[in-house]
Amino acid sequence: MGSRYRYSNILLYKIKIIREMSKWMTPKYIDLRLYTMYGSHYKSYIIKHPIRFIRDLNRYIEWCINMDKHKGD
């Protein structure tokens, strides 16, 4: 029960982060980030490698959470 509760808390926190990020992220910013990560054909790359894209997105969100923790230092 404990690990399931912890997992749901982490998931809810990541959803909260995504919601907050969507307030200031513009489509042009998202396009630029994806272009710098995957190159000019990033749309086809994401379609061909959806699991890798989800993993990278998860790592990016975890990085944002980590940076947010250190912001107060």
Domain ranges of the chain: 2-70
Q: Report whether pLDDT(18) > 90.
A: no
Q: Any residues with CB less than 8 A from the CB of 14 and at least 6 apart, and which? A: 58, 61, 62, 65
pLDDT in tens, 25-37: 899 999 999 999 9
pLDDT tens for each residue of 22-66? 898 899 999 999 999 999 999 999 999 999 999 999 999 999 888
Please tell me the distance from the alpha carbon of residue 35 to that of residue 15, in angstroms, as a whole number: 23
For residues 23-43, one letter each, b for 16 or more C-beta atoms within 10 angstroms of the residue's C-beta and e for the rest, the string is eeeeeeeeeeebeeebeeebe
In the DSSP assignment, the letter for residue 39 is -
- Residue 26, token pair as written in the block: 């513009």
